[in-house]
């Protein structure tokens, strides 16, 4: 995988999202989601899974890597052994690919931006998107009350991941 540059051309037929679990010694601590506070003011802000469109000549794995890196600063190279293709879900004109990944606390600690907020991660590019760590209970509440982008909540449900979130257990 070329980790130095990313093509700008889009393939509008394919998008990827990654469900990132924060772990410490195989114990689930929380999840990484993204919130865009520039496009959506606080009163309408929502959480979403890191993701976006696959670029020209880019595999879906590379797209998952780059979207996580650009939106919340997470370098999945250290976690590639945990990156699992979980769900293929056609939706309209797009093919959506859902991945599941894990990062450990050591990797997460380097992402904190304490001068802004201890739960906000540093993005690689500031597109108004910031990664946030939510506990299993917080994520479940956000899903229940509509705080997660509905298409992403639907993907989590279709992939059977809501039960893992409810029970606070790792997705294998």
Please give the average pLDDT of every successive group of 10 residues along the chain, which has 172 residues: 51 77 89 77 74 83 84 74 62 74 77 52 59 90 90 87 91 83
**Does this model's pTM top 0.85?**
no
Tokens of 112: 């904190």
Is residue 50, in this structure, part of any structural domain at all? yes
Residue 20, in any domain of the structure: yes
Q: For residue 166, what are its two tokens? A: 């409810």
The rounded distance, in Å, linking the Cα atoms of 108 and 110 is 5
**CA separation for the pair 17, 51 (Å, rounded):** 4
Q: Is residue 21 part of a domain?
A: yes
* Cβ density class 91-118: b for 16+ within 10 Å, e for less: eeeebbbbbbbbbbeebbeebbeeeeee
Q: Tokens 């000549």 appear where?
A: 57
Quote the number of domains for the chain: 1
Predicted local distance difference test score (pLDDT) of residue 82: 58
Residue 15 domain-assigned? Answer: yes
Structural domain boundaries, residue 163: 10-167
Does the residue 3 lie in any domain?
A: no
Cross-strand pairs, 7:
none
The CATH number of the domain where 73 resides is what?
3.90.79.10
Residue pair 74/131 in contact by the 8 Å Cβ criterion: yes
Residues 6 or more apart in contact with residue 131 via CB below 8 angstroms: 32, 33, 34, 50, 71, 72, 73, 74, 111, 120, 121, 123
d(CA 14, CA 8): 14
pLDDT at position 92: 60
- Per the domain annotation, does 18 fall within a domain? yes
Our CA angle for 48, 168, 37, nearest 5°, is: 20
Q: Tokens in use for 75?
A: 């370098």
């Amino acid at each position: 995988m070329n980790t130095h540059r990313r093509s700008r051309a889009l393939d509008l037929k394919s998008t990827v999202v990654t469900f990132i679990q924060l772990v410490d010694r195989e114990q689930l601590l929380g999840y990484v989601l993204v919130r865009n506070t520039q496009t959506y003011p606080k009163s309408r802000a929502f959480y979403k899974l890191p993701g976006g469109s696959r670029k020209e000549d880019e595999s879906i794995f590379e797209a998952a890597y780059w979207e996580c890196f650009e939106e919340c600063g997470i370098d999945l190279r250290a976690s590639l052994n945990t990156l699992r293709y979980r769900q293929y879900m056609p939706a309209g004109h797009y093919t959506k690919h859902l991945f599941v990944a894990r990062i450990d606390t050591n990797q997460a600690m380097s992402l904190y931006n304490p001068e802004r907020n201890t739960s906000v991660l540093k993005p690689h590019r500031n597109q108004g998107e910031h990664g946030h760590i939510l506990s299993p209970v917080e994520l479940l509440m956000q899903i229940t009350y509509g705080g997660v982008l509905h298409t992403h909540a639907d993907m989590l449900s279709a992939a059977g991941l809501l039960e893992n979130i409810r029970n606070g257990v790792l997705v294998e």
